[in-house]
Amino acid sequence: ATPEAAVADAKEIVASGHRALKMDPMMHSLHGGMKDGNITFMDGELSPQGLAEAVEITAAVREAVGPHIEVLIDAHGNFNVATAIDLCNRMTSINLTWFEEPVQPESLNALRQVKAGTDVPLCVGERLYTRYDFADVLSEGLASYIMPDICWTGGISEMRKIATLAETYYVPISPHDASGSLNVVGGAHVMMTTPNFYRLETSRPTPEQYNRVLTEPIEFIDGHLTLP
């Protein structure tokens, strides 16, 4: 909720060997006592103070980790079009790798407006479920990265088809992880044969909690996941 806390977390992630980190610097306002907005596409907005604090947190993290660590923002689809564009443009100088899910996934028209309103790279996909959901996003150039979830897409076969579709547009793919070991290992196996693979998301900087339910443990070596 503060720049100091975000910097401490970022430094821990970098110290563990990772070269990229993702965060949501807006969550403290949406869920805190400021009553800046609700998590819906109709009234998802931030007050001027909330906007300024989000930028302050992100800028502090960028300064702390330096220019060579990738910083990614996840907005969780919480914002209306105007707020999403405002947030993206306020963070242009911070050199974000991507701004993820700026608006709710149901409206391609909303995503088109955000894309037209900012030069910050966008990422979408954790709540798009099949290759057909990704087709218009890719053909219209609405996202610079895609992030499908291997569980929600229906498994390895559909994830592989989505990756191949994205490859034809030269769009990198990064599997989404919010559900633990199956997400991570399943996505990693598909990415082993995916030329447009970008990064594998993990929600933990170390593998211990993942390995609690795996018979073959995984390892993180210098920020890379290794498979048996």
Of 18, 176, 189, 224, catalytic: 176
- Cα–Cα separations (whole angstroms), residue 196 to 3, 70, 131, 173: 34, 18, 16, 6
- Known catalytic residue at 176: yes
Separation between Cα atoms, residue 228 and residue 226, nearest integer Å: 7
Farthest-apart Cα atoms in the chain, separation = 50
Sheet of 122-124, strands arranged across = 20-23, 70-74, 98-100, 122-124, 145-146
Residues 6+ apart with CB under 8 A from 46: 26, 29, 30, 36, 37, 54, 79, 83, 87
Tell me if residue 146 falls in helix, strand or coil. strand
Q: Which of 75, 57, 59 is nearest to 67 (CA)?
A: 59
Residues with catalytic annotation? 176
